[in-house]
């Protein structure tokens, strides 16, 4: 794990492996670069000129042995035209700087952010460092690589940012710890990351952090009357788990925020089986649950003065002789009956019972997170997750946190007009409507179970992972937005 810290040294006297300073377009120097140039008697400017450094965001120029500079190595990073970095650019810069430090096999990197918006930029750079240094190697076997060399990242903050920096850094570091945990669980193959394993990981997390957790098995889930959740487990040999995290940082009896995560550890589709291409992606169908794990980890580290509950519904959607058949009807914990017309619309079937369970906490807000529909991916692609909510203020706060962290949500409609498509002649509702508005009708299904509190549903099917290429893997989204949402209430 990388150690992040703050210091107040100068770019020219910083005793570190490598110093990073910003240069704008047209080789306009940031104040840190200016200081460095002066101390080196113009060597920095001369090097920029010789290299024809563009100063575009994302560009790096490594320099070595500049005269009059304590650090042997300097990384100049492009900062574009403006006097501050946008969130996206700051993150990319953090990623590029960390990657360069790793490439040079260095242990310590000291970054000088631009003075404007320095705290926000630092937070994004921490995430960029995490992007560049995160490794999945649990099942890589003999091809697992050595850990990256980078051990310490320091931020030398401008004076104006000194006051806000420590708390902000703490939040960012907890955020990446959460995100890295979310990625780890997501990237584990489904034969490793079973519901049972999730239950074990929950207990381990609690041991190291002082949270409380209850891990329920099939018997306990039956006792709760979660007939809809259990219908999804019919076709699988993997026993289900219902996990309840409780963090009590607030006053006794204060209404908690409840996070609910879809934890389908593999989604074959069941009898309504999925096509073969890309079916491996369905190991990430527990990313909502992974997000809850990540948020709870960050919360336990940050210890906000709030009460927070995390619910994880974990099972496998598989197919065998006992599997649910299209047309089967089940009774949910709420008493409402459901005709399962498509066994591949299983996420809503497990979440609805958790939403009913959430009532017992008399929550101030319930936020569910789920890789719920392919339709949401069609609608929004992979940059924004969908957000549906019965409360505008709740939606606005989540959207604001998403914007700030560049972990974005786009509001989608939640309207009664769409409910009719879910009607059934054989139950209170069907679990699917037609192809039209598939992400919306899925949200409408959940809404029927979320009438007693303020609620938001995050459809993260498009953002939770990259499905191909060199970066194939979990993204850790939307942990950053949700941790910011929690901390914004402190
Ligand atoms: N887990 C899938 C949704 C999904 C699709 C996640 C693509 C990530 C990427 C979900 O359980 C599902 O299969 N949904 C169906 C719903 C349909 C049957 C109404 C879908 O989106 O096709
Ligand atoms: Mn499915
Ligand atoms: Zn699914």
pTM for this structure? 0.98
- Distance from the CA of 346 to the center of ligand 1, in angstroms? 8
Atom number, ligand 1, closest to the C-alpha of residue 317 = 11
Give the pLDDT score at 81: 97
Closest CA to 70 of 11, 108, 13: 13
Is the distance from CB of 445 to CB of 424 less than 8 angstroms? no
- Distance from the CA of 244 to the center of ligand 1, in angstroms? 25
Segment 435-449, tens digit of pLDDT:
999 999 999 999 999
Atom number, ligand 1, closest to the C-alpha of residue 464 = 8
Unique residue bearing structure tokens 């990388």: 2
Catalytic residue among 28, 135, 152, 274: 274
Phi-psi sector, 95: left (phi>0), alpha (psi -120 to 50), beta: alpha
Alpha-helical (H) ranges within 52-112 are: 87-103
Q: Is the CB of 267 under 6 A from ligand 1?
A: yes
DSSP per-residue letters across 196-264: HHHHHHHHHHHHHHT-EEEEE-HHHHHHHT-HHHHHHHTT-SSPPEEEEEEEE-S-TTPPPEEEEEEEE
Segment 398-444, tens digit of pLDDT:
999 999 999 999 999 999 999 999 999 999 999 999 999 999 999 99
Is residue 51 packed enough to be buried (19+ CB in 10 Å), middle (13-18) or exposed (0-12)?
A: middle
CA dihedral sign of residues 15, 20, 22, 27: positive
- The domain ranges of the chain are 3-158, 175-487
Is residue 140 packed enough to be buried (19+ CB in 10 Å), middle (13-18) or exposed (0-12)?
A: exposed
| List of residues 6+ apart from 140 with CB closer than 8 A | none
Give the pLDDT score at 209: 82
Atom number, ligand 1, closest to the C-alpha of residue 269 = 13
Q: What is the largest CA-CA distance in the chain?
A: 83
348 in catalytic set: yes
Closest CA to 371 of 339, 397, 346: 346
Rounded to the nearest angstrom, the gap between the alpha carbon of residue 360 and the centroid of all alpha carbons in its chain is 27
Q: Is the CB of 440 under 6 A from ligand 1?
A: no
What letter would DSSP give residue 452?
S
* Low-confidence spans in the chain with pLDDT less than 70: none
Q: Is the CB of 326 under 6 A from ligand 1?
A: no
Atom number, ligand 1, closest to the C-alpha of residue 375 = 21
- Distance from the CA of 243 to the center of ligand 2, in angstroms? 21
- Which of 344, 418, 446 for a ligand 1 pocket mutation test, highest count of atoms within 8 Å of Cβ? 344
274 in catalytic set: yes
Give the pLDDT score at 373: 98
Segment 118-173, tens digit of pLDDT:
999 999 999 999 999 999 999 999 999 889 999 999 999 999 999 999 999 999 99
What is the rounded distance in angstroms from the CA atom of residue 19 to the CA atom of residue 44?
13
Give the pLDDT score at 208: 83
Unique residue bearing structure tokens 């320095």: 118
**Which residues on adjacent β-strands are paired with residue 315?**
264
Q: If you compute the radius of gyration of the chain from its CA atoms, what whole number of angstroms results?
A: 24
Give the pLDDT score at 146: 87
What is the rounded distance in angstroms from the CA atom of residue 368 to the CA atom of residue 477?
13
Q: Is the CB of 424 under 6 A from ligand 1?
A: no
The CATH homologous superfamily of the domain defined by 175-487: Zn peptidases (3.40.630.10)
What letter would DSSP give residue 177?
H
**Which residues on adjacent β-strands are paired with residue 367?**
259, 456
In CATH terms, the fold of domain 3-158 is: 3.40.220
- Which of 374, 386, 472, 475 for a ligand 1 pocket mutation test, highest count of atoms within 8 Å of Cβ? 374
């Amino acid at each position: 794990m990388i150690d992040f810290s703050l210091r107040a040294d100068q770019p020219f006297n910083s005793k570190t492996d490598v110093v990073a300073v910003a240069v704008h377009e047209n080789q306009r120097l940031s104040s840190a670069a200016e200081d460095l140039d002066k101390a080196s008697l113009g060597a920095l400017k001369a090097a920029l000129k010789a290299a024809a450094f563009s100063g575009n965001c994302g560009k790096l120029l490594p320099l070595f042995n500049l005269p009059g500079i304590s650090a042997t190595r300097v990384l100049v990073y492009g900062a574009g035209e403006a006097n501050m970095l946008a969130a996206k650019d700051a993150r990319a810069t953090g990623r590029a700087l960390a990657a360069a430090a790793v490439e040079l096999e260095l242990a310590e990197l000291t970054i000088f952010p631009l003075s404007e918006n320095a705290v926000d930029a630092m937070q994004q750079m921490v995430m960029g460092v995490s992007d560049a240094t995160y490794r999945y190697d649990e099942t890589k076997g003999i091809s697992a690589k050595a850990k990256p060399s980078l051990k310490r990242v320091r931020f030398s903050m401008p004076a104006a940012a000194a006051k806000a920096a420590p708390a902000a850094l703490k939040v960012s570091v907890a955020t990446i710890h959460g995100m890295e945990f979310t990625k780890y669980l997501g990237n584990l193959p489904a034969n490793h990351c079973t519901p049972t394993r999730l239950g074990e990981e929950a207990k381990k997390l609690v041991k190291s952090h002082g949270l409380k957790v209850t891990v329920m098995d099939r018997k306990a889930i039956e006792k709760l009357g979660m007939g809809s959740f259990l219908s999804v487990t019919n076709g699988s040999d993997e026993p289900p788990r219902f996990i309840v995290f409780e963090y009590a940082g607030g006053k006794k009896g204060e209404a908690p925020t409840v996070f609910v995560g879809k934890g389908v550890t593999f989604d074959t589709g069941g009898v309504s089986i999925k096509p073969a291409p890309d079916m491996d992606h369905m190991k990430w169908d527990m990313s909502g649950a992974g997000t809850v794990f990540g948020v709870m980890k960050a919360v336990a580290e940050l210890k906000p003065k709030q009460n927070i509950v995390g619910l994880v519904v974990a099972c496998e959607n598989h197919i065998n002789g006992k599997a649910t058949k299209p047309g089967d009807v089940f009774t949910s914990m709420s008493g409402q009956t459901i005709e399962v017309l498509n066994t591949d619309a299983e996420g809503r079937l497990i979440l609805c019972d958790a939403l009913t369970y959430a009532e017992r906490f008399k929550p101030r807000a319930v936020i569910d997170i789920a890789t719920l529909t392919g339709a949401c991916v069609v609608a929004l692609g992979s940059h924004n997750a969908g957000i549906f909510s019965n409360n505008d203020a709740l939606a606005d706060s989540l959207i604001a946190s998403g914007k700030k962290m560049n972990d974005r949500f786009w509001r989608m409609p939640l309207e009664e007009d769409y409910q009719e498509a879910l009607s059934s002649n054989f139950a209170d509702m069907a679990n699917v409507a037609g192809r039209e508005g598939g992400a919306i009708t899925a949200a409408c299904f959940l809404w029927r179970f979320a009438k007693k509190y303020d609620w938001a549903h995050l459809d993260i099917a498009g953002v939770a992972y990259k499905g191909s290429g060199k970066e194939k893997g979990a993204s850790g989204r939307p942990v950053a937005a949700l941790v910011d949402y929690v901390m914004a209430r402190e």
